[in-house]
Amino acid sequence: MLEIVVCSLIVLGLVFPFYVLPRRVRSLPRNDPLHVKWRFLSLIVSSVVCATFTYSVYFRSDDFIRVVGLHSFQGSILSSINCVALTCFLFLGPIVTKSIKFCSLQHSITYSFLENLDTSHYIYIIRAVVVGPVIEEFIFRGLITSIFRKTGYSRLFTVFGSPWLFGIAHLHSYFNLVKQGNSKTNAALRSLFQMLYTSLFGFIATFFFLRTGHLLPCILSHSLCNTLGLPDTSFTNKMNSLNSYKFAISISYVIGISLFFGLLFPLTDHKLFQSAH
């Protein structure tokens, strides 16, 4: 129980600094480049502090680099290929959907992930596919998951218990949604959905980390999920242009999910990466 409290404090230490940034920064929109840069700095400092604390309290006598999954370049690459492939299987439906959209909108150079971004600010892309995944996976998988295992929690509890901290860490988006003008009810529902969705990804990432022993697969899978976003189910609407592809998209969902669960254990077997350690 003490470890759960400690890990909760680590999460708080990651999020709380966002709310003590200089007032002029906090008054800016969340997507303002200056605000984003200050958040980057906050996350980096928080990560260093959390890593130092975790090492000092739990892993002083261990190989800390191995504990957090940053050992063996070859093992990291091999496990990443397998885990990213699994993530692609899981998101095969959304990938097919986006591919169909792209083919039908060849004239658009800012389609999909980039269409909702101001591409003049590359910092948004860096936040979503680099800084966010790297720091969040380091904290939640490298540190928190390792603490759970170090202190005797079972693999089952670690996989299905610790990721809720990852989900809860995203609940603070409620305040930003309210600030943007959303009603408190709408903001609460959206924040709750985000918590559930991020916790679901957390289950998968934690499973990857425990099975492979490497952090890179979790980071790359996280980046891929952020890039693809939530599954687009608009193809079920008869008025949507994608509806004519409904059968193909539906089949891709079924095939992708079947491949994911069918290959989940074989492709993450640690024996595959032992020779690379």
Q: Which amino acid is at 158?
A: T
Using DSSP's 3-state secondary structure scheme, residue 204 falls into helix
Q: Are residues 162 and 140 in contact, defined by beta-carbon separation less than 8 angstroms? A: yes
Burial class of residue 143 in the structure, from the number of CB atoms within 10 Å of its CB (0-12 exposed, 13-18 middle, 19+ buried) = buried
User: Is 137 annotated in the active site?
Assistant: no
Q: How far apart are CA 218 and CA 202, in angstroms?
A: 9
Q: Which two tokens stand for residue 199?
A: 């916790």
Q: Radius of gyration (Cα) for the chain, nearest Å?
A: 20
Please identify which of the residues 35, 137, 170, 214 carries the catalytic annotation: 170
Nearest CA-CA partner of 164 in 183, 192, 184, 186: 192
Please identify which of the residues 136, 137, 214, 222 carries the catalytic annotation: 136
User: Is 115 annotated in the active site?
Assistant: no
Active site residues: 136, 170
